Amino acid sequence: ERGARHCGVGERMFLCQARSGALRQPYRLLRSVLLPSSTSTSSFFSSSSSGGGGGPSTWEFMDWAKRGDLKEWKSGEEPSYFHVFNVDAKEYEVDVKDLEKKYKSLQKFLHPDKLGVSGGDEQRKLGEKYSALVNEAYTVLRRPLPRARYMLAQRGMSVDEETSMDDLDFLQKVMEIRERLEEDLDEEALKELEEEINREIEKIVSELGRLLNSGSLQDAKELTAKLKYYDNILNEIIRQK
């Protein structure tokens, strides 16, 4: 029969069929097995990325926050996360330590209670609004996965649970890792697996930076989807520790 293929021992039937072409949409069938719906973050994604793109010489958002007598930012227009922290929107890599310093400085000026004391209820509400924006921007920019998603979204591309992936070798690799996690691994084995996944993530993040910086958005989107798989695996490793 056309598309028939002998399935090897230990190979999941649906993955074998996907490889043979018997399944038209293997990704959708595999998604629930390989990509849990977890949205929590892992230790790797809280770590620093090397490098950083310099933003404009004048930090406009900070100058606005320092005034103390807040008005709506540019008639209510919401600044981009890159604008909030004065980092280059074209560069994927950011200096996370510098980002943290900027975050603390901004929150010092935008603290709702501080603004409320000097400017009343209206200033307190504006402080709450823009302090929340700074929190969200910091949460996104400091981690590789949400930062990649945000950059893609800013350029008109989204990465979600329905993002298609045709790399069946990668899907099988992820499935095999998940099968290892189903075993009763001791602490040392979990540590080794975590280090292995982090190495894979470092490779992806490096390549992702190159793709985003060069404008190769479709390839960057596919790589970001892979990053999500590894993020979920790390979450599971942390849960089992």
114, 127 Cβ separation under 8 angstroms: yes
Task: Summarize pLDDT for 190-224 with one digit per residue, the tens.
Answer: 999 999 999 999 999 999 999 999 999 999 999 99
The structure's pTM equals 0.74
Task: Summarize pLDDT for 163-172 with one digit per residue, the tens.
Answer: 667 889 999 9
Q: How far is Cα 15 from Cα 11, in angstroms, rounded to an integer?
A: 7
Q: How far is Cα 238 from Cα 195, in angstroms, rounded to an integer?
A: 12
How many angstroms separate the Cα of 129 from the Cα of each of 74, 123, 126? 14, 10, 5
Q: How far is Cα 192 from Cα 138, in angstroms, rounded to an integer?
A: 30
| Residue ranges of the chain whose pLDDT lies below 50 | 1-5, 9-11, 14, 22-34, 36-54
Residue 159 is encoded by which pair of tokens? 């990465």
Name the percent of the chain in helix, strand, coil, to the closest 5.
Answer: 65, 0, 35
91, 84 Cβ separation under 8 angstroms: no
